Amino acid sequence: MGLQHALNQAALKQGYTTPTPIQAAAIPAILQGHDVLATAQTGSGKTAAFCLPLLQQWLTRRQQASRQVQALILLPTRELAIQVGNTLRELAQCLPQRVKLAVVYGGVAINPQMMALRGGADIVVATPGRLLDLIASNALSISTANTLVLDEADRLLDLGFADELGRLLALLPPHRQNLLFSATFPPSVHTLAEQLLKQPLRIDIEQAATTAPDIHQRAIEVDASRRTMLLRHLLQTHEWARVLVFVASRQAADRVAGKLQSAGIHAAALHGDCSQGQRGQVLADLKSGQLQVLVATDVAARGIDIPLLPAVINYDLPRSPVDYTHRIGRTGRAGARGEAISFISADCAAHFRLIEKRQQLRLQREQIAGFEPTTTADPASADHSAEQAGNGGIKGKRKSKKDKLREAAAQQQAGKRQEE
């Protein structure tokens, strides 16, 4: 694919014996200088798809006199920033020269990051807010960046980073290579791509059958009040070594983890209130086997790679089909088989039907002996309720205030024209 020997050796050391489809398509295109718009599922190897050519570009462009930022990688969460930073460090181990990498994100003290940036940096991996803080403090400049990477672009926009992205784009040189990677391609990402990319090479691996993860999806009907009991039953029945359980709120994460701990199960909570040290510790404990169950909010839906995670459980349903995709994408990675289970109570049946509709799937409803629900939603009424709701509570599909104001203004103008 045009990679130098040192990078080929580094890839082999990290277990990349054969390029994945996204790597085979993206690496030559990036090395040739194309702007790239790529959609690929989580676990497809897209991180190495841009890290390897970025390192090779650095080798060919490096300046001996000073360290100026050559590549900027923007990501939505600190977990994803840390993961990408680790990948870059591992792949750079075999290089003949030492690359200076800066990984910066919020939620931790800024001073150590400012100290680490003394003398400059070659490649910067950052979340938008913390990067803007460092630039405002004159800790670094991105005016020399030759390449911009937006990873998980849909999540960047979903988390409200559009304004920060606009400010950062204004600080970058106008002539640069732009690489946009996204697991999904909603209208917001389409708009950003049109504004940002110049004659991009489009790579779409998402629908390729060869890259589809082997995930067995299940939907189990249960009363909301008995979900924790059912969760304990499934843990005992399946004897999973590790499980990731998704809930809707920080309070729910602490509550469910506490109940599991009281039952003698090694469990912990992960949410936005956890410090970076706490996050790193619980993830390390889960990977090492000291922790069996991680109860998490959607902070764990992206950017977290847990090797050989056998199961993901939606204790609470996600707000959107996109979040559903990323949640279940934590299992079934790197060719392993995974299981994704969603708990369906009567009050969320219509919501799950909409998720199924957007995902173009229909799961058979299961009931576990001893946990049969006392109240169930009628399928016809659930579908009717979903249609009546229009968006069924699906995030990103409601009309915004601006849309409503525009409609009201249009109706007012139409009324005036009729009066005239």
pLDDT digits (tens), the chain, 420 positions: 788 888 888 888 877 778 888 999 999 999 999 999 998 766 678 899 999 999 999 988 875 546 899 999 999 888 889 889 999 998 998 888 889 999 999 888 999 999 999 989 999 999 999 999 999 999 999 999 999 999 988 888 877 788 899 999 999 999 999 999 988 888 888 889 998 999 999 998 755 444 567 899 999 999 999 999 999 999 999 989 999 999 999 999 999 999 999 999 999 999 878 877 788 788 889 888 899 999 999 876 666 677 788 999 999 999 888 889 888 988 887 667 899 999 999 999 999 999 999 888 899 999 999 999 997 665 554 444 444 433 444 444 455 554 555 555 555 555 544 444
User: Could you list the residue range(s) of the whole structural domain that residue 239 is in?
Assistant: 213-389
Reduce the DSSP state of residue 288 to 3 states and report it.
helix
According to the model, what pLDDT value does residue 417 have? 46
Residue 91 lies in a domain: yes
Residues 268, 333 within the same domain: yes
According to the model, what pLDDT value does residue 407 have? 58
Integer angstrom CA distances of residue 155 from 218, 294, 344: 25, 22, 26
Residue 400 lies in a domain: no
Q: If we measure between CA atoms, which residue out of 60, 51, 116, 58 comes closest to residue 86?
A: 51
**At 342, which CATH number?**
3.40.50.300
Strand segments (E) across 257-331: 267-270, 293-296, 311-314
Reduce the DSSP state of residue 330 to 3 states and report it.
coil
> Can you list the alpha helix ranges (DSSP code H) found in 92-246?
111-116, 128-136, 153-158, 162-171, 187-196, 227-238
Residues 157, 274 within the same domain: no
Residue 136 lies in a domain: yes
Residues 136, 284 within the same domain: no
Identity of the residue numbered 240: W
User: Where does residue 390 rank: exposed (0-12), middle (13-18), buried (19+ CB within 10 A)?
Assistant: exposed
What number of other Cβ atoms are within 10 A of residue 202's Cβ? 13
Dig out the tokens for 375 from the structure: 């109240």
Residues 135, 249 within the same domain: no
Residue 160 lies in a domain: yes
Reduce the DSSP state of residue 13 to 3 states and report it.
helix
Residues 272, 197 within the same domain: no
Domain final residue pick, 188, 209, 230: 209
Residues 110, 229 within the same domain: no
290's CB contacts (< 8 A; 6+ apart) are: 266
- Are the C-beta atoms of 253 and 296 separated by less than 8 Å? yes
According to the model, what pLDDT value does residue 65 have? 44
Q: How far apart are CA 197 and CA 140, in angstroms?
A: 25
Q: If we measure between CA atoms, which residue out of 374, 223, 228, 211 comes closest to residue 313?
A: 228
Q: How far apart are CA 189 and CA 181, in angstroms?
A: 10
Domain final residue pick, 168, 187, 209: 209
According to the model, what pLDDT value does residue 96 have? 85
Q: How far apart are CA 360 and CA 369, in angstroms?
A: 29
Residues 284, 238 within the same domain: yes
Integer angstrom CA distances of residue 195 from 63, 74, 174, 178: 31, 17, 12, 11
> Can you list the alpha helix ranges (DSSP code H) found in 187-304?
187-196, 227-238, 250-262, 276-288
Domain final residue pick, 209, 241, 263: 209
161's CB contacts (< 8 A; 6+ apart) are: 76, 128, 129
Overall domain count for the chain? 2
Residues 129, 266 within the same domain: no
Q: How far apart are CA 193 and CA 187, in angstroms?
A: 10
Residues 385, 251 within the same domain: yes
Q: How far apart are CA 267 and CA 253, in angstroms?
A: 10
Residue 409 lies in a domain: no
What is the Rg, in whole angstroms, of the alpha carbon atoms belonging to the chain? 23
Residues 199, 231 within the same domain: no
According to the model, what pLDDT value does residue 391 have? 41
Q: How far apart are CA 186 and CA 321, in angstroms?
A: 11
Dig out the tokens for 155 from the structure: 């999540």
Across the beta sheet with 71-74, the strand order is 101-104, 123-126, 71-74, 147-150, 177-182, 36-39, 201-204
Residues 235, 205 within the same domain: no
Residue 257 lies in a domain: yes
CA angle, 223 then 225 then 231, to 5° = 85
Residues 294, 375 within the same domain: yes
Residue 402 lies in a domain: no
Residue 397 lies in a domain: no
Q: How far apart are CA 320 and CA 250, in angstroms?
A: 18
